[in-house]
Structure 1
């Protein structure tokens, strides 16, 4: 059974190893810096998906002035057909809602093109997608 939960300190090593396995080198390097920063700011915006005690996905979000950003989605295998990705996105959206986030943004970059149909199927529209960001916010299912 799929379990999506908040990040715990004991997840650091397994999540780091997991992301190194599933993300491209470039995507991993960008993510690790942001992951460390987000953990120091607010670890409640990092969610973990697991099955039978094994990490199979993670999502890193951030909030900036009542705007919630889906920073990175990483999932172990494509065989999940978006099930894990969608569960992570929904869980983080609930977290955003509980924090009073007024606008949710899906940053667009080269890493997230494969997830755009999933976001659309979850009800996200063009107004949720933001192209150029000063920060290197991105979503990756590499």
Structure 2
């Protein structure tokens, strides 16, 4: 394996590998139509970590002009503990900052203690907001 994984923007050729990673970590894949709509807005914020020529991690970022959001950070279990998640987040933060983004938000499920610890180690602090959602 390449000892220096690279971070780059998502390309459609990556879709099947990204879906496989999402499934490997227990997330439902995003449908192509949903990703197509997202990529119209800010394609440079959907990032891939490539290791040894294989897609090893992914993070989906968005920016609405006021706040950045980090969604869907996932690393293939076979590539974990190598700093890929941290590198993906760092690159996404740089890209959001370059867009003028003043703050980044993200969601952590209440039972995901390891995930919360990861984000806190990167400086993300929990806030007591109540998340409300409504499917359309």
TM range (shorter): 0.7 to 0.9
Matches of 2:111 and 2:39, distance apart in 1: 22
Matches of 1:45 and 1:135, distance apart in 2: 25
Higher relative contact order (CA 8 A, sep 6+): 1
Aligned twin of 1:19: 22
Matches of 2:111 and 2:71, distance apart in 1: 11
- RMSD in angstroms over aligned alpha carbons? 2.7
Structure with more helix by fraction: 1
TM-score (structure 2 length as normaliser): 0.78
Q: How far off is 1:116 after superposition?
A: 1.3
* Superposition map of 1:34-113 within 5 A: 34-77=34-77, 80-81=80-81, 83-109=83-109, 113=113
Q: How far off is 1:13 after superposition?
A: 2.9
Q: How far off is 1:130 after superposition?
A: 5.2
1:65 match: secondary structure: coil
> What is the aligned length?
131
Q: How far off is 1:82 after superposition?
A: 6.5
5+ unaligned residues in a row in structure 2: which ranges? Answer: none
Moved runs in structure 1, 4+ residues, more than 4 A?
110-113
Matches of 1:92 and 1:15, distance apart in 2: 17
Matches of 2:21 and 2:8, distance apart in 1: 16
Change (3 A) 1:2 1:93: same
TM-score (structure 1 length as normaliser): 0.76
Change (3 A) 1:108 1:80: closer
Is 1:7 aligned with 2:6? no
Matches of 2:132 and 2:82, distance apart in 1: 26
Q: How far off is 1:9 after superposition?
A: 2.9
